[in-house]
């Protein structure tokens, strides 16, 4: 069948259909595009711009530190600069850059037309843009946060002005966008692989994306929970971190670093994933030790969650506890080292060509290894006690992040540039950029090890001449400007007009992976036909691959109904399951992002009602978007997918990407909730007065009634799903109504349990945390009611039927989590305080 | 004669079972130590529990490793590349990766438990 010739006329017609379906909007409508190739480019350029801004802040700080007793910057401005430098590099560059690059190239690795939820990517991008400008822009008004990128209380909770609020709310907003992108990337990797691409054939990049996506789900929510508590303290004076009223500043440090340490690996793994794609191409042979790299990615993913306390070695925790984290920090070296050895082994057995990208990867490996070695040193608690908060740490972290992130990303941009723009970057400029950045980096940061060992603390605005740190600081400052020159050369090469330059050849590096089957000149359809994969390097190992691919001999080479579609396959063996429609250009995503931004940003200025209104508008936008474009009842239930395969166009339950998206989102949400629960137990162990003696305890009876109502609501939702599937829509609708009533009852019961006994959240951390749990679960109750009503409306208006019940299945899945968190909340509020 | 394929042959969950044991071991010993050090002040019970939990965790990981080794089935065809589009290669790959992860997890468990051997106080 694959060798049967395709009629030229049929081929031309199919291409025209596809081109029309995937056409990028023109003119000002261009900004309504949601295609991964557009959104990915905007996303990465925005992240790069934020990186340049944060880099400028670093240069200004280096000028200030070049000579002793300098007064180039005031102390307050210096504080704002180092806070924003760290925050922007982490939240506005490193993590978003991973998401941007993945959105841009992952579908191509997987031979998919697009990401599973293009509008979600667009929504994430616009949220990121709005949040990023808001956070970074604050520096221009001299109101930026200034307590360091980790915002330790009590300094940050007591700080005057709106700086900490900008940090908390602005970055929470961006974290939500990051989680949205993580959901997208995980579902993309699990459900949108091409037929035949079993899990043992998946490109290594996809493995890393999967691991990092899951890490984001477990790492970001604790910070969101921390931000939630922090902002409640800032705006409502609930004393979670105030030791005078039963709080504890260390809780913030725990929540921050449970996020913050995995974050380092969240930044590092995707960058090393790019190296894992470049190395086999440079060596012109398959990667040595595929299973070992998977071991390494997955192992690092797990172990990186056991390291957070190594940022807190000096906080006076029991030394036994410090020992666990020190040991885990040393253990993580094993999987990290394994992947580097696998790269080196691949290069050793291959025939290496030192191409532009490979030069950057080689630099990355050298610098990262140096950073890793100092990491092994600071993971030992007594050594850390000596160098904690000195420039030694600054040197260490920049070695790991430059080597582990900046160099591989730049290498990756050189590598993928022909894929993205169909043009090449300059060989000569690349070498200039590399050697300037590489030598400048070492001139800047190598001396800092010594500066630190000589005792210079981090985050000081200046130092006296007598300290003897002046020569080293001057060298570092010179080095920093050499780095800046290198980055500028790179930026010029990246952005310079290339109109007259010829188009690149199709596979300029002679790589073996799917993305190099791209079309030159560009086509917006992603892939001409979704291929059947039987090898890890199809372009090297599958005979006649490109010819068949271009002739549209594989799956869905057409768009008969003019819809944007992609193939959904099973999670492990990539057996085709459906051809699903993906969403096209829309303005509603932009509106949704703008209103979500309003909901997060307006509270900074105490406009609480406007913020609530903006939140309601955001929800309305999202409902409109879901109602009009997702889980539509199809006109024809099956579609001819090519190669003699007929597939359904609507799937529901665990086969559907939407079900996975809900499941994954809820895992993240459950992690945030677990962080709040951790908070309760943390207070219990850290404070002798939790709950304080003689304090009012929440009412047990109302809490238990609420618990019962949660279980009833859950049961009614499950019953509605089953009855609907059994064809009894009428009864199913009444079950949904019952579930709504029970949810509202649970909501009321929870509040009565804490309000009736007279708990005052401002007085002590105990009532405050009881209130916080109730607020959290109440917000979820509201969401649950909205989802149930959405299903009810769907059932009444024919969007949700016996066969096409994806919305109800997803709502039920949400309810499994909702019920669990409702039960835990009510037990923690109603029963646990009586046992503590 | 065809036999039903066991779920573990196509399960990523089985592949990550060993690091999950590491995670649980880590979380529990951290929690036990934190509670005992704050409520009692000396870690005797914690150290004893860590010993017991470590033995249990290592036994579990050993069992997981053995199942993964059988699934990898290395002595049979000495395949460690697994790059064919077949059910066999997918099964062997998941077994191989699961086996390697068991080794890394066992090292992790031993590492993390070691401080309890040497540190006798909460200070």
Residue-wise pLDDT tens digits, A414-452:
999 999 999 999 999 999 999 999 999 999 999 999 999
Chain B contact for A305 (CB, 8 A cutoff): yes
Tell which A residues from 515 to 574 touch B, by Cβ distance under 8 Å: 533-536, 571-573
The verdict on B24 touching A (C-beta cutoff 8 Å) is no
The answer to whether residue A245 scores a pLDDT higher than 90 is yes
Neighbours of A778 (CB within 10 A): 16
Contact B119 A320 (CB under 8 A): yes
User: What is the pLDDT, as a whole number, of residue A128?
Assistant: 95
pLDDT at B3: 58
Which among B10, B81, B96 has CB closest to A573?
A: B10
Compute the average pLDDT of residues A624-628: 94
Please state the rounded mean pLDDT for residues A203-226. Answer: 94
Instruction: Give the DSSP letter string of A583-609.
Output: ----SHHHHHHHHHHHHHHGGGGT-HH
Give A3's pLDDT tier (boundaries 50, 70, 90).
confident
The pLDDT of residue B2 is 47
Mean pLDDT of A499-522: 93
pTM: predicted TM-score of the whole model, two decimal places: 0.95
Cα–Cα dist A337/A341, whole Å: 6
3-state secondary structure of A647: strand
A348 class by beta-carbon count within 10 Å (0-12 exposed, 13-18 middle, 19+ buried) = exposed
Percentage of chain A lying above the pLDDT 70 cut:
100
Q: Is there a contact between B26 and A306 if contact means CB atoms under 8 Å apart?
A: yes
Taking only the tens place, the pLDDT of each residue in A376-400 is 999 999 999 999 999 999 999 999 9
pLDDT tens per residue, range A80-108? 999 999 999 999 999 999 999 999 999 99
d(CA A128, CA A134): 10
Q: What pLDDT, on the 0 to 100 scale, is given for residue A354?
A: 86
Mean pLDDT of A570-582: 93
Per-residue pLDDT tens over the stretch A137-150: 999 999 999 999 99
Mean residue pLDDT of chain A comes to: 94
B9 lies within 8 A of chain A by CB: no
Sequence-separated (6 or more) residues with CB below 8 Å from residue A464: A68, A69
Q: What is the pLDDT of residues A663-684, one digit of tens each?
A: 999 999 999 999 999 999 999 9
Interface test with B, best of A195, A214, A251, A295 (most B CBs within 10 A): A295
Mean pLDDT, range A357-386, rounded to an integer:
95
Q: How confident is the model at residue A456 (pLDDT cuts 50, 70, 90)?
A: very high
Q: Is the CB of residue A292 less than 8 Å from the CB of residue A338?
A: yes
Chain-chain contact of A326 with B115 (C-beta, under 8 angstroms): yes
Please state at what angle helix B87-118 crosses helix B17-39, rounded to 10 degrees. Answer: 20
pLDDT at A502: 93
Which pLDDT tens digit goes with each residue over A402-413?
Answer: 999 999 999 999
Q: Which of residues 41-70 of B touch A (CB under 8 A)?
A: 43, 46-47
* DSSP assigned state of A5: P
Q: How close A630 comes to chain B (CA, Å)?
A: 29
What's the ipTM? 0.95
Per-residue confidence (pLDDT) for residue A4, from 0 to 100: 82
Per-residue pLDDT band at B1 (split at 50, 70, 90): very low
Q: How far is A293 from chain B (nearest CA, A)?
A: 9
What is the reported pLDDT for A5? Answer: 84
pLDDT tens digits, A775-814? 999 999 999 999 999 999 999 999 999 999 999 999 999 9
Output the pLDDT for position B105. Answer: 96
Do A42 and A99 touch, CB atoms closer than 8 A? Answer: no
> Is pLDDT of A160 > 90?
no
% of residues, chain A, pLDDT over 90: 91
- Joined together, the tokens standing for residue A571 give 């999670």
What distance in Å separates residue A485's CA from the closest CA in chain B? 42
Q: What is the pLDDT of residues B11-34, one digit of tens each?
A: 889 999 999 999 999 999 999 999
The string of pLDDT tens digits covering residues B59-108 is 999 999 999 999 998 998 888 999 999 999 999 999 999 999 999 999 99
Q: How many CB atoms lie within 10 A of CB B123?
A: 11
Q: Does residue A555 surpass a pLDDT of 90?
A: yes
Sign of CA dihedral B52, B53, B58, B59: positive
């Amino acid at each position: 069948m694959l060798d049967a010739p395709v009629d030229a006329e049929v081929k031309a017609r199919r291409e025209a259909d596809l081109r029309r379906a995937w056409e990028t909007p023109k003119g000002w409508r261009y900004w309504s595009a949601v295609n991964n190739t557009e959104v990915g480019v905007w996303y990465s350029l925005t992240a790069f711009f934020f990186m340049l801004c944060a880099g400028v802040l670093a240069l200004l700080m280096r000028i200030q530190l070049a000579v002793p007793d300098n007064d180039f910057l005031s102390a307050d401005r210096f504080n704002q600069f180092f806070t924003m430098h760290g925050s922007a590099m982490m939240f506005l560059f490193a993590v978003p850059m991973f998401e941007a690059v993945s959105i841009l190239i992952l579908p191509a690795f997987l031979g998919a037309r697009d990401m599973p939820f293009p509008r979600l990517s667009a929504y994430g991008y616009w949220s990121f843009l709005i949040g990023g400008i808001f956070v970074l822009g604050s520096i221009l008004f001299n109101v930026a946060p200034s307590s360091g990128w980790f915002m330790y209380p009590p300094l940050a909770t007591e700080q005057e002005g709106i700086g900490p609020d900008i940090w908390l709310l602005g970055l929470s907003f961006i974290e939500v966008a990051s989680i949205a992108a993580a959901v997208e990337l995980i579902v993309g990797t699990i459900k949108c692989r091409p037929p035949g691409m079993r899990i043992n054939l998946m490109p290594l990049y996809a493995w890393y994306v999967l691991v990092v996506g899951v890490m984001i789900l477990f790492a970001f929510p604790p910070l969101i929970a921390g931000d939630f508590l922090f902002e409640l303290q800032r705006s409502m004076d609930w004393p979670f971190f105030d030791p005078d009223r039963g709080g504890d500043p260390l809780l913030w440090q725990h929540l921050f670093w449970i996020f913050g340490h995995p974050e380092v690996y969240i930044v590092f793994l995707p960058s090393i994933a790019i190296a894992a794609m470049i190395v086999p191409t440079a060596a012109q042979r398959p990667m040595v030790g595929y299973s070992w790299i998977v071991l390494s990615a997955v192992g690092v993913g797990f172990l990186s969650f056991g390291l957070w306390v190594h940022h807190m070695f000096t906080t006076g925790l029991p030394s036994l506890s410090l020992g666990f984290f020190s040991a885990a920090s040393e253990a993580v070296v094993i999987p990290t080292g394994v992947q580097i050895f696998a790269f080196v082994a691949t290069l050793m057995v291959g025939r290496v060509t030192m191409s532009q990208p490979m030069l950057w990867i080689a630099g990355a490996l050298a610098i990262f290894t140096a950073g890793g070695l100092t990491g092994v040193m600071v993971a030992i608690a007594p050594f850390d006690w000596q160098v904690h908060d000195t420039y030694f740490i600054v040197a260490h972290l920049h070695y790991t992040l430059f080597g582990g992130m900046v160099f591989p990303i730049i290498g990756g941009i050189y590598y993928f540039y022909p894929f993205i723009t169909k043009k090449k970057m300059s060989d000569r400029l690349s070498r200039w950029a590399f050697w300037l950045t590489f030598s400048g980096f070492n001139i800047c940061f190598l001396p800092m090890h010594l500066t630190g060992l000589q005792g210079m603390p981090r985050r000081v605005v200046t130092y006296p001449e007598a300290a003897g740190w002046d020569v080293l600081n001057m060298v570092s400052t010179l080095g920093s400007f050499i780095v800046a020159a290198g980055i500028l050369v790179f930026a010029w090469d990246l952005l310079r007009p290339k109109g007259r330059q010829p188009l690149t050849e199709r596979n300029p590096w002679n790589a073996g992976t799917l993305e190099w089957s791209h079309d030159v000149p560009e086509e917006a359809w992603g892939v001409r036909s979704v291929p059947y994969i039987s090898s890890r390097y199809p372009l090297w190992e599958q005979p006649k691959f490109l010819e068949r691919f271009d002739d549209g001999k594989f799956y869905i080479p057409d768009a008969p109904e003019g819809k944007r579609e992609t193939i959904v396959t099973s999670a492990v063996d990539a057996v085709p399951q459906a051809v699903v429609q993906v969403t096209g250009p829309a303005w509603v995503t932009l509106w949704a992002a703008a209103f979500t931004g309003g909901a997060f940003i307006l509270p900074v200025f105490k406009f609480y009602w406007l913020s609530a209104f903006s939140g309601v508008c955001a929800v309305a936008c999202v409902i409109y978007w879901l109602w009009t474009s997702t889980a539509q009842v199809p006109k024809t239930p099956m579609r001819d997918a090519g190669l003699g395969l007929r597939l359904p166009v609507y799937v529901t339950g665990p086969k559907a990407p939407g079900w996975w998206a809900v499941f994954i989102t809820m895992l993240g949400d459950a992690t945030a909730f677990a962080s709040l629960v951790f908070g309760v137990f943390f207070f219990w162990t850290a404070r002798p007065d939790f709950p304080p003696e003689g304090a009012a305890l929440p009412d047990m009876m109302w809490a238990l009634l609420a618990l019962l109502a949660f279980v009833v609501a859950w049961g009614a939702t499950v019953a509605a799903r089953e009855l609907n599937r059994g064809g009894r829509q009428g009864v199913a609708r009444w079950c949904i109504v019952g579930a709504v009533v029970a949810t509202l009852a649970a909501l009321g019961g929870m509040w009565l349990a804490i309000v009736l006994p007279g708990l005052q959240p401002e007085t002590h951390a105990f009532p405050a945390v009881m209130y916080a749990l109730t607020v959290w679960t109440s917000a979820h109750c509201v969401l649950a009611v909205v989802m149930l009503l959405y299903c009810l409306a769907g059932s009444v208006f024919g969007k949700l039927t016996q066969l096409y019940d994806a919305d109800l299945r997803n709502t039920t899945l949400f309810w499994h989590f909702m019920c669990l968190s409702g039960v835990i909340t009510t037990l923690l509020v109603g029963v646990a305080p009586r046992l503590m | 004669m065809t036999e039903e394929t066991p779920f573990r042959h196509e399960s990523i969950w089985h592949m990550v079972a060993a690091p999950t044991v590491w995670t649980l071991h880590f979380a529990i010993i951290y929690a036990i130590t934190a509670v005992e050090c704050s409520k009692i002040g000396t870690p005797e019970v914690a150290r004893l529990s860590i010993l017991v939990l470590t033995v249990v965790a290592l036994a579990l990981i050993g069992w997981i490793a053995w199942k993964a080794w059988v699934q990898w089935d290395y002595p049979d065809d000495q395949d460690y590349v697994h790059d064919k589009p077949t059910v066999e290669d997918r099964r062997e790959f998941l077994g191989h990766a699961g086996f390697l992860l068991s080794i890394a997890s066992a090292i992790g468990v031993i590492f993390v438990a070691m401080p309890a051997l040497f540190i006798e106080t909460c200070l």
